[in-house]
Structure 1
Amino acid sequence: MGSNSELGGFKYQWQHLRIRAEASGVALNARSSGSSDIDVRGLQALSKQLAKSAIESLKLEGSEDSERFSDVESAILRTLIQEWGTKSYEFRLDRLDLSSEDELSSKEHVFKAHCYFGAKPSSKTPDIFIHLNCYLEYGGSHAALEFLINELGIGVKK
């Protein structure tokens, strides 16, 4: 599930692209299929279907637009991403100019990264060394750092 927020005339769009986790004897490797910037729905589709199944099994009313459905979907994503022995997680952050009429041309790629946490349950050695892989098509680590400094307002004063 992606999330959106607005700040300073821009809409920020966060998308979950990939998770790799291991817990309770289950290895999970879920990735959004296709790398199209227009249609990345894999993890969102998975969490929506699991939320739908959970709501239906409890015989609760709730469309995909309801707050209850959104809460269940968010809980499922939180479990998959934060609580299920996550080894790595990939995400993307884009910025849309709210003053622009054309959403596609106003889309700015801000940050895309794959985070490796080094976690490996019941092992003395890590799965992989802990690091953050920042994608070059989004400006790499330099552009990510510049974005954070600008958004936090901690730029160097002259």
Structure 2
Amino acid sequence: MRVSLLQGGLFVSINRSFLHKILDYEDEFFAALMLILEGHSLRTTNALFVESLYGLRRKSVRLRLSKGSSTEVQRSGLEKRRRVLSVVFLVVLPYFKLKLHGIYNKEGEVRLWESLWRSEDQGFDEANFFTGEETIVSRRDNGNHELSV
């Protein structure tokens, strides 16, 4: 890290190679930050980060039905298992969905590229690009539907 002074103020410039490494793994970096933020928020406030901004809290509710018409309600904080599941559904699954979607799009681009340019073995002269000859396919109207070239 380099420190330099600009017009009386302190300016800190970060080595660009460090930023490039972070940008190469931006999805993983973002997922790790979200994991830390949401995990900490669930441990301290029993709410996700956004939920805590609105003053919402998550509570576990257990209902017990008795033989009479009354029901008992027990409320408690979130169990560790539910906190972990909340973070998994909020951070981990969307990360995997993003990665799988990226792989799917790459495969689609490769297939599209291959379909546009056909096989790599076929050259331009084999595809009649330079000979000037055109292949014309027409149907005869005599009902036999024979193809003539």
Q: TM-score range by the shorter chain?
A: under 0.3
In the superposition, the TM-score normalised over structure 1's length comes to: 0.20
- Compare CA radii of gyration and give the structure with the larger one: 2
